[in-house]
């Protein structure tokens, strides 16, 4: 498999080169030369396969010839001591992506990346320096995934005052090979600083740089795994029973699920969307052959992509702060991948866009806890309400799965005044004891270069 920049098809790179480089030298994002289909035997067995086997079959064609099959099998087993349960909450299916160590969907990409990088750089003497911009959960997942990994240093940039306190503890509370920078600006400023650093040739001479945002193809590909696994289950007419970290209100009996799953029906996923890496990974899973009918991209007021789907004009804009902070992205990086690999008309066939206000987000957090005994974090609430707005009083054909991208305990300051005390999963209890240690810098490229040089 060769990988090309979204801005130039003249030179293809290997998976290792694309992953370890992160951002293409011309500022584009790496995309595979093709999105490989699942073998027929795999495609027909997604509903019965073990999660690790689906992970192996999903990633394998992208790394063929660079990561041997036995090594890849070990990598996915080490990366995923957890899975992604598809559970019933009332008349909805919820794909819970917060059962990993940082209680957010970013664990699926970051943990594979850390292990793949360690393998691909075996024998290297020069340290690899990873730069990552985060609007919240990416930073914590990358910090946890790479903490203590020999030969790799990480610098995480996050917008000062625009992540939750627990997210800041995850990002800036580890120390060691993890350095945290609190930027006086927005996530878009953080992303701009990182992209500027990658284009700085003088910095490249001093450091080996890579990325860990979803701009890195090695972060994005593993996120296709849980789409394929969940779609396979739903297509087989199955779902999961709630597991330990599922955020049910212990004081209120869970309302019985009322989803009627019929074998043979493809699923629609409603995806809370900010930088659009998660949605792009879903598009990859669909094109590989997972039984997916389509997607709903639910954003907050930062509705650049929903507006594009409506008007056909892509107009990035400054981000606006909301209570669903990880989605406060006005210029989503992965739109470049989406528009490179799918035309506007092709996207309109499989993707609907919707945006949700903070007021509606707060209301749905309260209402779902009261009616179902289930806690939603603000991002999952955007998806829940986005689905309400797309089909008020009606149903989409086939099952619909809402992606629950983070545990609500990570946003207790927002959720608890609306819904009461949130159960804290074991993965987060130890984080509450960390003291964040971040260096504050202005949103200026010279400030970042001063830190890195």
Judge whether 195 counts as a catalytic residue. Answer: no
- Which of 60, 106, 303, 410 does the annotation list as catalytic? 106
Give φ, ψ of 382 to 5 degrees: -60, -40
DSSP line for 8-70: EEEEEE-HHHHHHH-B-TTS-BEEESS-PPPPHHHHTTTTTS-HHHHHHHHHHHHHTTTS-HH
Cβ count within 10 A of residue 76 = 24
Closest CA to 72 of 190, 179, 182, 225: 225
DSSP line for 362-398: HHHHHHHHHHHSB---HHHHHHHHHHHHHSTTS--SS
Distance CA 41, CA 389 (A): 38
Tallying the residues shown for the chain, one arrives at: 453
Cβ count within 10 A of residue 413 = 11
What single DSSP character describes residue 312?
S
Contact 377, 404 (CB under 8 A): yes
Strand residues in 397-445 grouped as ranges (E):
400-404, 439-442
DSSP line for 153-192: EEEEEEETTSS-HHHHHHHHS--TTEEEEEEES-HHHHHH
In this structure, the dihedral spanned by the alpha carbons of residues 75, 167, 85 and 19, taken in order and rounded to 10 degrees, is -30
Helices (H) and strands (E) in the chain, counts: 20, 14
Contact 332, 278 (CB under 8 A): no
Distance CA 383, CA 19 (A): 30
Kindly give the interhelix angle for 69-79 and 106-120, rounded to the nearest 10 degrees.
Answer: 140
Any idea which residues carry the catalytic annotation?
106
């Amino acid at each position: 498999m060769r990988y090309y920049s979204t801005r130039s098809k003249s030179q293809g790179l290997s998976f290792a080169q694309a992953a370890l480089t992160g951002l293409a030298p011309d500022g584009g994002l790496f995309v595979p030369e093709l999105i490989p289909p699942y073998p027929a035997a795999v495609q027909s067995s997604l509903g019965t396969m073990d999660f690790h086997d689906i992970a192996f079959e999903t990633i394998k064609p992208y790394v063929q010839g660079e990561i041997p099959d036995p090594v890849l099998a070990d990598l996915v087993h080490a990366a995923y001591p957890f899975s992604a349960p598809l559970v019933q909450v009332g008349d909805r299916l919820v794909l819970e992506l917060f059962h990993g160590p940082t209680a957010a969907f970013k664990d699926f990409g970051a943990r594979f990346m850390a292990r793949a990088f360690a393998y691909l750089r075996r024998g290297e003497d020069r340290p690899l320096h990873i730069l990552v911009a985060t609007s919240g959960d990416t930073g914590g997942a990358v910090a946890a995934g790479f903490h203590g990994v020999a030969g790799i240093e990480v610098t995480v940039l996050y917008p000062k005052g625009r992540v939750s306190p627990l997210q800041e503890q995850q990002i800036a509370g580890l120390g060691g090979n993890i350095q945290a920078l609190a930027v006086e600006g927005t996530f878009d400023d953080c992303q701009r600083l990182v992209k500027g650093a990658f284009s700085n040739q003088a910095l490249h001479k001093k450091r080996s740089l890579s990325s860990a945002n979803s701009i890195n193809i090695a972060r994005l590909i593993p996120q296709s795994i849980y789409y394929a696994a969940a779609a396979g289950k739903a297509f087989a007419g199955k779902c999961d029973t709630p597991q330990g970290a599922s955020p049910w209100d212990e004081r209120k009996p869970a309302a019985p699920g009322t989803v009627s799953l019929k074998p043979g029906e493809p699923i629609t996923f409603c995806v809370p969307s900010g930088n659009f890496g998660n949605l792009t990974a879903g598009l990859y899973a669909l094109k590989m052959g997972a039984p997916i009918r389509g997607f709903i991209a639910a954003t907050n007021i930062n509705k650049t992509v929903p507006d594009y789907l409506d008007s056909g004009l892509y107009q990035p804009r400054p981000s606006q702060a909301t209570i669903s902070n990880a989605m406060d992205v006005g210029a989503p990086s992965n739109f470049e991948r989406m528009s490179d690999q799918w035309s506007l008309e092709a996207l309109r066939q499989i993707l609907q866009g919707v945006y949700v206000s903070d007021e509606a987000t707060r209301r749905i957090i309260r209402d779902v806890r009261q009616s179902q005994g289930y806690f939603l974090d603000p991002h999952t609430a955007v998806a829940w309400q986005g689905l309400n707005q797309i089909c008020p009083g009606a149903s989409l054909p086939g099952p619909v799965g809402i992606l629950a991208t983070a545990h609500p305990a990570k946003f207790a300051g927002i959720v608890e005044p609306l819904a009461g005390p949130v159960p804290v999963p074991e993965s987060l209890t130890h984080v509450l004891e960390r003291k964040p240690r971040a260096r504050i810098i202005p949103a200026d490229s010279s400030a970042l270069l001063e830190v890195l040089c």
